[in-house]
């Protein structure tokens, strides 16, 4: 069965804003909340949106508090979409406690990326698509207005089409299939669990930030050993930002790190599936949304075309 796309939003609909992972300050969300209002929607703040629970990491509340906010947002019939304030770390804590009783009758878009990949994998395992796109909090590298506009287009029922420049690491070809994936570290963390993506005949998307090159290779090798690369029909690689060692890597600030791309290219060299490098999604300034669970057509030649 094809994943369910939530219904399009209309003006005045309410969007829940929650923090399922890392803590945020009010000042970090002000611009994003005003943007939601300017688009004609009403942001509704989760009870623990600004809670801080330091426990080796600044979580946005205890596990119980974060689970409570997410289940409220998923199952509240007055909420039409859910937008994560940020990623960070902590979404894995919530997986065994998520409830979809009312969500199944009234599916809604979930928007986020980074650590939110695990929630999006959970939703897809249950038959629902979601939006891998910019959170409400903008990081130090910022985010383009177009990235947000494209997300609102999806919320209103318009599916994206992308045309991007050729990358020298690309493997030409065509592929069509359901898009899965997100942050590589979380895809890797879910391997072998009941919450892992189903990779068979899928198009896989990966992006990451702040990983040493050996850690990047270790994650890729784990996917290889798990048979992921034998199962997929295509691969799309987004941002690889702040990779390696800051002192040694001259490309430390690059969004599409060349050495990271070289490592990925070498690790998948024995496979012949079409591969796109340099897609504008991830921990980068130009973070254009993708639909996890959406069926995409990928055509890689002198130009790269991706269409949902």
Q: What is the pLDDT of residues 57-101, one digit of tens each?
A: 999 999 999 999 999 999 999 999 999 999 999 999 999 999 999
Q: How far apart are CA 184 and CA 235, in angstroms?
A: 12
Query: pTM of the predicted model, to two decimals?
Result: 0.96
The predicted-structure confidence for 157-175, as pLDDT tens digits, reads as follows 999 999 999 999 999 999 9
What is the predicted pLDDT for the residue at 4? 97
What is the predicted pLDDT for the residue at 217? 98
- Quick one: pLDDT band at residue 28, thresholds 50, 70, 90? very high
Q: What are residue 164's DSSP bridge partners?
A: 304
CATH number of this structure's domain 14-155, picked from the four choices 1.10.3720.10, 2.60.40.1930, 3.40.50.10740, 3.40.50.720: 3.40.50.10740
Q: What percent of the chain has pLDDT over 70?
A: 97
- Residue 227, class by beta-carbon neighbours within 10 Å (0-12 exposed, 13-18 middle, 19+ buried)? exposed
Q: What is the CATH number of domain 161-307?
A: 3.50.30.60
Q: Where are the domains of the chain?
A: 14-155, 161-307
Provide mean pLDDT across the span 29-41.
Answer: 97
Asked if residue 147 lies in contact with residue 284, where contact means CB atoms within 8 angstroms, the answer is no
Q: What are residue 303's DSSP bridge partners?
A: 165
What is the predicted pLDDT for the residue at 21? 98
């Amino acid at each position: 069965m094809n994943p369910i796309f939530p219904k399009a939003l209309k003006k005045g609909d309410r969007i829940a804003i929650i923090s399922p992972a890392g803590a945020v300050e009010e000042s970090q969300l002000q611009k994003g909340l005003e943007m939601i209002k300017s688009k004609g929607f009403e942001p509704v703040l989760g009870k623990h949106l600004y809670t801080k629970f330091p426990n080796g990491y600044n979580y946005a509340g205890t596990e119980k508090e974060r689970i409570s906010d997410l289940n409220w947002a998923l199952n509240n019939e007055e909420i039409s979409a859910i937008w994560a304030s940020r990623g960070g770390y902590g979404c894995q804590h919530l997986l065994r406690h998520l409830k979809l009783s009312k969500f199944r009758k009234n599916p809604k878009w979930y928007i986020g990326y980074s650590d939110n990949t695990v929630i999006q994998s959970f939703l897809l395992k249950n038959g629902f698509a979601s939006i891998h796109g910019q959170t409400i909090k903008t990081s130090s590298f910022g985010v383009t207005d177009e990235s947000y506009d494209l997300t609102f287009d999806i919320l209103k029922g318009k599916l994206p089409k992308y045309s991007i420049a050729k990358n020298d690491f690309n493997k030409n070809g065509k592929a069509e299939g359901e898009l899965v994936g997100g942050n590589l570290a979380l895809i890797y963390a879910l391997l072998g669990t009941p919450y892992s993506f189903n990779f068979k005949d899928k198009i896989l998307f990966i992006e990451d930030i702040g990983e040493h090159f050996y850690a990047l290779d270790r994650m890729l090798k784990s996917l290889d050993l798990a048979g992921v690369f034998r199962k997929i029909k295509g691969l799309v690689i987004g941002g690889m930002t702040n990779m390696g060692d800051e002192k040694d890597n001259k490309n430390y600030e690059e969004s599409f790190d060349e050495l990271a791309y070289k490592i990925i290219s070498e690790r998948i060299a024995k496979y012949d599936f079409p591969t796109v490098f340099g897609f504008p999604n991830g921990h980068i300034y130009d973070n254009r949304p993708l639909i996890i669970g959406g069926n995409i057509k990928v055509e890689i030649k002198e130009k790269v075309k991706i269409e949902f």
